[in-house]
Amino acid sequence: MEETAKRRILLGITGGIAAYKAAELARALQKNNVEVRVAMTEAATHFVGTATFQALTGRPVALDAWDAGVPNAMPHIELSREADAIVIAPASADFLAKLALGLADDLLSTTCLARNCPLIVAPAMNREMWDNPATQRNVERLRADGIAILGPAAGDQACGETGMGRMLEPEALLEAILSHFAPRRLAGRKVVVTAGPTFEAIDTVRGITNRSSGKMGYALAAEALAEGAAVTLVSGPTALAPPAGVIFVPVTSAAEMLAAVEASIGEADLFLSVAAVADYTPARPSARKIKKSDEALRIDLEPTVDILARVAARPGAPFCVGFAAESENLAEYAQAKRKRKGIPMIVANLVQQAIGRDDNEVVIHDDAGAHPLPRAAKAQVAAAILSHALGLMASRPPHAAVRPLQQAS
Ligand code: CTP
């Protein structure tokens, strides 16, 4: 790393068994030319002592809003102003709730509220706490507020249970934190993402749809945005709030999605086709509600346009990433689909392991073969998928219309 780029991080530690891993993170950050200052909540001190962090960083640990040895007696302001970013690791469920509400009842939460720098949180908690709708609501809120959420990962937990909620390992956190400071890899680039299901009308009230939640597509849109891209998110009906900063185009049917994509795809560098687009649509939707009768009802369906294949076939097409949700023969079907659609990269998952969930386990297929990614939160998976796509884009031979990307330094 360049000598000139010394960064300063305020490492906030909240109450959780993963607090002991924060010591390793502090060391790893320092080894990577990052100056670390530590602030702990009272609960965190029950899991690991302040002396550890004081020794590691050579600076007193900030604990108390009233006595932090700060000349102007405003430690929350001073702590945030001297940091390039605040990293909360581990971030307990309680602390996430405080951040979501903007509470400020101790030094660390007050500092976060008073910050003028990016905030990054690494949640760590029992899987039921993570899955609890209250926590999920809070995480959604934090994302919408522009707070970066790293993890959690799935695996064995300190409580003896297994599931989502483990804090990411210090090496993974280090990499994500450093990449936060890295140059934005999609600055000045245009990305179009499709997400969610489509709804194909049968009559004025009924229709054909599917169980896609849109979470994966929205997570990818957020990642592309974080990499500096101008992002258009074309979305079928979902219950999600679009990431702040995207150009949001809500659509209903596959035909509307096609029209919205065609209207925005010109000049795009990257097309992420995450939507679960209906393959068939009723040929003659009824303009009034169909009445019940004793007769069998037959609805004629006609194929929709394959939006992804159509974009991939454009002259000077953007780099296209497809998704394949399969219920069996994952690798074989995904590779066949990739070739059929004429795209360089497809992300495959088993429907039974992905739809509606907050985590996902996928395998990327490209010309070089299969690249399985570990099960993780969809935001984490989205970051890995985008990195893979950027790697392929950067190594692509120059194309008349696709400008080669610069590798991130
Ligand atoms: N897709 C699309 N337009 C369609 C259908 C699919 O853009 N009308 C895109 C999806 O966004 C996804 C990829 O194509 O990126 C794979 O979609 P999928 O429905 O799984 O593949 P199909 O080719 O429809 O094959 P099948 O349904 O038989 O599995």
Tens of pLDDT, residues 135-173: 999 999 999 898 999 999 888 888 788 888 999 999 999
3-state secondary structure of 226: helix
Bridge-partner residues for 38, per DSSP?
A: 11
Average pLDDT over residues 20-26: 97
User: Which pLDDT score, from 0 to 100, does residue 397 have?
Assistant: 62
CA torsion 207-213-216-221 (nearest 10°) is 70
- With the most atoms of ligand 1 within 8 angstroms of its CB, the residue from 198, 234, 277, 307 to mutate is 277
Sign of the Cα torsion 70, 75, 81, 83 reads positive
Atom number, ligand 1, closest to the C-alpha of residue 304: 8
Q: Classify residue 239: in a domain, yes or no.
A: yes
Residue with more model confidence, 70 or 121: 121
Q: Classify residue 404: in a domain, yes or no.
A: no
With a cut of 70, say whether residue 407 has pLDDT above it: no
With a cut of 50, say whether residue 311 has pLDDT above it: yes
CB-based burial, 106-145: b 16+ in 10 Å, e otherwise? bbbbbbbbbbeeebbbbbbbbbebbeeeebeebbebbbee
Active site residue 320: no
d(CA 390, ligand 1 centre) in Å? 22
CATH number, domain containing residue 79: 3.40.50.1950
Atom number, ligand 1, closest to the C-alpha of residue 279: 8
Q: Classify residue 400: in a domain, yes or no.
A: no
Q: Do 72 and 201 belong together in one domain?
A: no
Q: Which of 22-36, 321-335, 385-399 has the lowest mean pLDDT?
A: 385-399
Q: Do 163 and 208 belong together in one domain?
A: no
Q: What is the pLDDT of residues 177-190, one digit of tens each?
A: 998 888 889 999 99
Q: Which of 112-121, 150-159, 283-292 has the lowest mean pLDDT?
A: 150-159
Contact in structure between 135 and 125 (CB atoms under 8 Å):
yes
User: Which pLDDT score, from 0 to 100, does residue 263 have?
Assistant: 98
Q: Do 28 and 10 belong together in one domain?
A: yes
Contact in structure between 184 and 262 (CB atoms under 8 Å):
no
Contact in structure between 236 and 195 (CB atoms under 8 Å):
yes
CATH number, domain containing residue 197: 3.40.50.10300
How many domains are contained in the chain? 2
Contact in structure between 222 and 142 (CB atoms under 8 Å):
no
Atom number, ligand 1, closest to the C-alpha of residue 323: 15
User: Which pLDDT score, from 0 to 100, does residue 331 have?
Assistant: 93
Q: Enumerate residues 6+ apart whose C-beta is below 8 A from 234.
A: 192, 193, 194, 195, 249, 251, 257, 260, 261, 264, 275
User: Which pLDDT score, from 0 to 100, does residue 316 have?
Assistant: 93
Q: Do 105 and 43 belong together in one domain?
A: yes
Q: Classify residue 121: in a domain, yes or no.
A: yes
Q: Do 173 and 210 belong together in one domain?
A: no
d(CA 345, ligand 1 centre) in Å? 14
Q: Do 128 and 83 belong together in one domain?
A: yes
CA-proximal residue: ligand 1, atom 4 (nearest): 306
User: Which pLDDT score, from 0 to 100, does residue 402 have?
Assistant: 44
d(CA 276, ligand 1 centre) in Å? 7
With a cut of 70, say whether residue 47 has pLDDT above it: yes
Q: Which of 107-116, 202-211, 314-323, 350-359 has the lowest mean pLDDT?
A: 350-359
User: Which pLDDT score, from 0 to 100, does residue 67 have?
Assistant: 64
**pTM for this structure?**
0.68
Q: Classify residue 18: in a domain, yes or no.
A: yes
User: Which pLDDT score, from 0 to 100, does residue 406 have?
Assistant: 47
User: Which pLDDT score, from 0 to 100, does residue 255 have?
Assistant: 98
Q: Do 176 and 194 belong together in one domain?
A: no
Atom number, ligand 1, closest to the C-alpha of residue 326: 29
The CA distance from 386 to 392, in Å, is 10
Average pLDDT over residues 251-265: 98
Q: Classify residue 195: in a domain, yes or no.
A: yes
d(CA 322, ligand 1 centre) in Å? 8
Average pLDDT over residues 61-71: 72
User: Which pLDDT score, from 0 to 100, does residue 5 have?
Assistant: 65
Q: Do 174 and 36 belong together in one domain?
A: yes
Q: Which of 19-33, 154-168, 183-197, 313-327 has the lowest mean pLDDT?
A: 154-168
Q: Do 88 and 231 belong together in one domain?
A: no
Residue where one domain finishes, among candidates 181, 207, 227: 181
Q: Do 239 and 330 belong together in one domain?
A: yes
Q: What is the mean pLDDT of the chain?
A: 91
What region, left, alpha or beta, does residue 79 occupy, with left being phi > 0 and alpha being psi -120 to 50 degrees? alpha
Q: Classify residue 403: in a domain, yes or no.
A: no
CA-proximal residue: ligand 1, atom 20 (nearest): 324
Task: State which residues form the domain around 146.
Answer: 3-181
Grade residue 405 by pLDDT with cuts at 50, 70 and 90: low
Q: Do 171 and 100 belong together in one domain?
A: yes
The CA distance from 112 to 33, in Å, is 23
* Range list of β-strands (E), 203-295: 207-208, 230-235, 247-250, 270-273, 280-282
Q: Do 201 and 143 belong together in one domain?
A: no
User: Which pLDDT score, from 0 to 100, does residue 10 have?
Assistant: 97
Residue with more model confidence, 245 or 236: 236
Give ligand 1 pocket residues (Cβ under 6 A): 194, 254, 273, 275, 277, 279, 304, 306-308, 322-325, 337
User: Which pLDDT score, from 0 to 100, does residue 70 have?
Assistant: 58
Q: Classify residue 88: in a domain, yes or no.
A: yes
Residue where one domain finishes, among candidates 122, 152, 181: 181
- Choosing from 112, 117, 159, 320, the catalytic residue is 159
What region, left, alpha or beta, does residue 235 occupy, with left being phi > 0 and alpha being psi -120 to 50 degrees? beta
With a cut of 70, say whether residue 2 has pLDDT above it: no
